Structure 1
Amino acid sequence: MNKFIKLMYSFDGILVFGLLFICTCAYLKKVPRLNSWLLSEKKGVWGVFYKAAVIGTRLHIAVAISCLAMAFYVVFLK
């Protein structure tokens, strides 16, 4: 539990959260019902979900490599 709290309030935690957010939004873009409900707005606060989904789908190779590198870092080096 202490490791989770420490990871949550560090720069590493922000990177992990960002990568997970991008991956989740890209996955939700593939689900038709959730795509029309959550990712329909392109501006404002809800537009963050849409923009993260676009980043996840267009840069899927870079995001996947970043996820693997961050997982390796968190599990083995930290």
Structure 2
Amino acid sequence: MTNAYSLDGILVFGLLFICTCAYLKKVPRLNSWLLSEKKGVWGVFYKAAVIGTRLHIAVALSCLVMAFYVIFLK
């Protein structure tokens, strides 16, 4: 189990947040409600969704590497 206050816990949270926002961007009803703002606090969701869709290969590979690290090395 990863600790939320360690570096690997923050990385896991960030990767899951980016993957979730990129997935929510594909759902039309949630896209217009959650990802419509591009500034402010709600803009973080939009920016994470953009990162997840533009860098989908790098995000997927880093998710796999982090999963291997958490399961086998930690």
TM-score, length of structure 1 as denominator length:
0.89
After TM superposition, where is structure 1 displaced by more than 4 Å over at least 4 residues in a row? none
Show the counterpart of 2:44: 48
More helix per residue? 1
Superimposed CA distance per residue, residues 29-75 of structure 1 (whole angstroms, 9 cap, x where no aligned partner): 00000000000000000000000000000000000000000000000
**Alignment identity in percent?**
94
Q: How many aligned residue pairs are there?
A: 70
2-structure distance, mates of 1:53, 1:62: 14
The alignment yields a C-alpha RMSD, in angstroms, of 0.3
Show the counterpart of 2:19: 23
Q: Secondary structure at the match of 1:41?
A: coil
Gap regions ≥5 residues in structure 2: none
2-structure distance, mates of 1:36, 1:13: 30
TM-score, length of structure 2 as denominator length:
0.94
